[in-house]
């Protein structure tokens, strides 16, 4: 158990809908990262937050957004969902900046029908 | 831009045989290097990391990796593979002056009985 929790574990929804994925980092960790993992794209970095502020952006679509709250939990919002958004979404946390090892949550499996 | 290359998409070894997974990184600064393992249906777990000092690092589950600056490599090794080592392995690199870590595309390890 990494100490990172993600909810929900599974999510099934329809095209065009909007969903919110939630992540609670390890106690004391200030950075939260979001990744998308799919069979054809592999593990793709989406975005990083550090102590409430956006720190780095990767291959995140405009339909996707994220935020980190004062209690350091984070949410990833996915809107206007398409079939291709079906994937595993991982959250990871680290104590400080990007040079720390990351601790990964178990992931949320999103299925868009 | 920083990048990580794992040249082998898929490797098959016999149980009890030795293993080496390759990882090459590209960037000019001193890197922080990591190997993660992902078992089917699980999140990523840190195997080992290199920050500085001894270039041969020991990790969990009997794995080790050697940092070779001249070759920009950080190859993962294990002297005797167990069936439970079958998983996907990711190499990652981070820098203090960059906003995010970069992950390789992963190497899938299959272990033959």
Write out chain A residues lying below 8 Å of B60, CB-based. Answer: none
Beta strand segments in A15-113, E: 19-24, 31-38, 42-50, 53-57, 64-68, 74-78, 87-94, 103-104, 108-112
Give dist(CA A51, CA B104) in Å, integer.
26
Per-residue model confidence (pLDDT) at position B28: 64
**What is the pairing mode between strands B107-112 and B87-94?**
antiparallel
Count the Cβ atoms, other than its own, within 10 Å of residue B72: 15
Higher-confidence residue of A54 and B26: namely: A54
Give dist(CA A47, CA B38) in Å, integer.
20
Tens of pLDDT, residues A48-86: 999 999 988 888 999 999 999 999 999 999 999 999 999
Chain B residues near any Cβ of chain A (below 8 Å): 32, 34, 36, 42-46, 49, 51, 90, 92, 94-96, 98-103, 105-106
Mutation site for B-interface testing, chosen from A7, A66, A102, A103 by largest number of B Cβ within 10 Å: A102
Write out chain B residues lying below 8 Å of A98, CB-based. Answer: 94-96, 98-101
Per-residue model confidence (pLDDT) at position A52: 94
Q: Looking at CA atoms only, how far is residue B37 from chain A in angstroms?
A: 11
pLDDT at B97 > cutoff 70:
no
Cβ-Cβ contacts under 8 Å for A55 (sequence gap 6 or more): A31, A48, A49, A97, A98, B99, B100
Tens of pLDDT, residues A65-75: 999 999 999 99
Give dist(CA B77, CA B80) in Å, integer.
9
CB contact under 8 A, A45 and B103: yes
Mean pLDDT of B14-34: 90
Q: Tell me the three state secondary structure of residue B59.
A: coil
């Amino acid at each position: 158990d990494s100490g990172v929790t993600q909810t929900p574990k599974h999510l099934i929804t329809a095209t065009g809908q909007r969903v919110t994925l939630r992540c609670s980092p390890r106690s004391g960790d200030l950075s939260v990262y979001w990744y998308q993992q799919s069979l054809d794209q592999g593990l793709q970095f989406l975005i990083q937050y550090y102590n409430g502020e956006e720190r780095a952006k990767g291959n995140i679509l405009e339909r996707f957004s994220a935020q980190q709250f004062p209690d350091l939990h984070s949410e990833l919002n996915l809107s206007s969902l398409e079939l291709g958004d079906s994937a595993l979404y991982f959250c990871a946390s680290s104590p400080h900046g990007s040079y720390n090892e990351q601790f990964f949550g178990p992931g949320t499996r999103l299925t868009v029908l | 831009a920083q990048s990580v290359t794992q040249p082998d998409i898929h490797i098959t070894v016999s149980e009890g045989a030795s293993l080496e997974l390759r990882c090459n990184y590209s960037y000019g600064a001193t890197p922080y290097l990591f190997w993660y393992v992902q078992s089917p249906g699980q999140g990523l777990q840190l195997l080992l990391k290199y920050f500085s000092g001894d270039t041969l690092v020991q990790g969990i589950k009997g794995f080790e990796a050697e940092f070779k600056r001249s070759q920009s490599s950080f190859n993962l090794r294990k002297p005797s593979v167990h069936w439970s080592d079958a998983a996907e392995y990711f190499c990652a690199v981070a820098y203090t002056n960059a906003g995010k870590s970069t992950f390789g595309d992963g190497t899938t390890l299959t272990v033959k009985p």
